[in-house]
């Protein structure tokens, strides 16, 4: 494969800095399959990976990027052949294993999902970990009885990657979506994705310190966590559920048991990192076919950058300035 470019993060004492460097195949970590990377995406974890206080990466220098899509270049795994279209999300990619911000990546075969027919490599990374997490959340809500027509479903952090994907997917599946955001100027964007109502964070969470509130939500997708999750739980209708997948709002939740024991509310934990392979394949097939949102995936892209334009995008996602998905065109 010769030489190729990758975004390296290096650490000196209490400071991290990034640079695009030319490396060779021998610099890649062990793995069964070498992939020519076409696209990646910018996620919150990627922003943490380039911060000295991010607590995501333990050894430097490092190549971040928790997502990638591309074509197989070399394979020692009989399940994959040269030229196959594949994607990788989760596991140790971009955290403990060199990630997708590189023109080539080598990974274990068990991490790989074939890109389903109906999805391009570009669309796979518009979806990425964010869309996959949103879809996992929706499937879990459906499995717990939260179906269209039962009432509005709240989405917190609705302008972020998981939130915006959840709004688009829920709306296309026939749900009434209430999108919560701290960015009033994003109301038009969220309505274009299908939100029936756009509310500020306080309206979505309600009275955070009140154990039970008026029953408002049939369910909720929450990639934010923190005190607002307690408010959501107190406002969910009898038998409803909240799918939580993040902690950008904090790890502590000042909740009580009352929503669970008086209204039968369920709190559903969503993990996209160690998710079983068969679940991954099923979710990606659904995203390629019956769950494809009205209008497609392109409208979720807020920006498209290359390796040389990544630094600002990584800073923006940590600063809460991003909207929708930032796509990274690798090669």
Residue 124 lies in a domain: no
Please tell me whether residues 15 and 147 are part of one structural domain.
no
Please tell me whether residues 56 and 109 are part of one structural domain.
yes
Residue 277 lies in a domain: no
Summarised one tens digit per residue, pLDDT across range 110-142 is 999 999 999 999 999 999 999 999 999 999 999
Name beta bridge partners: 242: 220, 267
- Separation between Cα atoms, residue 104 and residue 211, nearest integer Å: 50
Q: Which two tokens stand for residue 57?
A: 């990466």
Residue 314 lies in a domain: yes
Please tell me whether residues 134 and 38 are part of one structural domain.
no
Instruction: Check: CB of residue 223 under 8 Å from CB of residue 160.
Output: yes
Please tell me whether residues 214 and 237 are part of one structural domain.
yes
CATH of the domain at 136: 3.40.50.720
Q: Which two tokens stand for residue 299?
A: 């409208």
Please tell me whether residues 193 and 95 are part of one structural domain.
no
Summarised one tens digit per residue, pLDDT across range 257-299 is 999 999 999 999 999 999 999 999 999 999 999 999 988 999 9
- Separation between Cα atoms, residue 63 and residue 98, nearest integer Å: 5
Please tell me whether residues 105 and 150 are part of one structural domain.
no
DSSP 300: G
Residue 182 lies in a domain: yes
Report CA dihedral (216, 171, 70, 54) to the nearest 10 degrees.
-20
Please tell me whether residues 195 and 81 are part of one structural domain.
no
Q: Where does the pLDDT of residue 1 fall: very low under 50, low under 70, confident under 90, or very high at 90 and above? A: low
Per the structure, the count of domains in the chain is 2
CATH of the domain at 51: 3.90.180.10
Which pTM does this prediction carry?
Answer: 0.95
Q: Which two tokens stand for residue 206?
A: 């309600």
Residue 318 lies in a domain: yes
Please tell me whether residues 153 and 227 are part of one structural domain.
yes
Please tell me whether residues 133 and 89 are part of one structural domain.
no
* Residue range(s) defining the domain that contains residue 308: 3-115+297-329
Summarised one tens digit per residue, pLDDT across range 134-179 is 999 999 999 999 999 999 999 999 999 999 999 999 999 999 999 9
- Tell me which H or E stretch contains 169: helix 161-172
Please tell me whether residues 111 and 28 are part of one structural domain.
yes
In this prediction, residue 321 carries a pLDDT of: 82
Residue 175 lies in a domain: yes
Q: Which two tokens stand for residue 173?
A: 């599946």
Instruction: Check: CB of residue 207 under 8 Å from CB of residue 234.
Output: yes
Summarised one tens digit per residue, pLDDT across range 189-217 is 999 999 999 999 888 887 778 889 999 99
Residue 173 lies in a domain: yes
What three-state secondary structure class fits 163? helix
Please tell me whether residues 136 and 265 are part of one structural domain.
yes
Residue 22 has pLDDT above 90, yes or no: yes
Residue 58 lies in a domain: yes
Summarised one tens digit per residue, pLDDT across range 43-67 is 999 999 999 888 889 889 999 999 9
Please tell me whether residues 138 and 208 are part of one structural domain.
yes
Average pLDDT rounded to a whole number, residues 307-313: 91
């Amino acid at each position: 494969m010769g030489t190729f470019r990758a975004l390296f993060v290096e650490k000196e004492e209490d400071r991290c800095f990034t640079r695009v460097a030319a490396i060779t195949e021998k610099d890649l970590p062990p793995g069964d399959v070498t992939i020519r990377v076409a696209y990646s995406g910018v996620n919150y974890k990627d922003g943490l990976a380039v911060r000295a206080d991010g607590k995501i990466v333990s050894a430097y220098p490092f190549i971040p990027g928790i997502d990638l899509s591309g074509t197989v270049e070399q394979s020692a795994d009989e399940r994959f052949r040269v030229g196959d279209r594949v994607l990788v999300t989760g596991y140790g990619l971009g955290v403990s294993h060199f990630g997708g911000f590189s023109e080539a990546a080598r990974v274990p075969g068990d991490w790989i999902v074939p890109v389903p027919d109906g999805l391009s490599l570009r669309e796979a990374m518009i979806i990425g970990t964010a869309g996959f997490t949103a879809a996992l959340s929706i499937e879990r809500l459906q499995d717990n009885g939260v179906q269209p027509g039962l009432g509005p479903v709240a989405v917190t952090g609705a302008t972020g990657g998981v939130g915006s994907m959840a709004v688009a997917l829920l709306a296309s599946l026939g749900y009434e979506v209430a999108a919560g955001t701290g960015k009033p100027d994003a109301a038009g964007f969220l309505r274009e994705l299908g939100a029936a109502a756009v509310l500020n964070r306080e309206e979505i969470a309600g009275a955070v310190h009140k154990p039970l509130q008026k029953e408002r939500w049939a369910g909720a997708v929450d990639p934010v966590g923190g005190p607002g999750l307690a408010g959501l739980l107190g406002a969910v209708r009898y038998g409803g559920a909240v799918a939580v997948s993040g902690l950008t709002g904090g790890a502590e939740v000042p909740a009580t048991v009352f929503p669970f024991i008086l209204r039968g509310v369920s709190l559903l934990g969503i993990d996209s990192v160690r998710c079983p392979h068969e679940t991954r394949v099923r979710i990606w097939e659904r995203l390629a076919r019956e769950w494809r949102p009205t209008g497609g995936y392109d409208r979720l892209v807020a920006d498209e950058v290359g390796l040389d334009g990544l630094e600002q995008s990584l800073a923006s996602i940590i600063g809460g300035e991003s909207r929708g998905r930032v796509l990274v065109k690798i090669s």
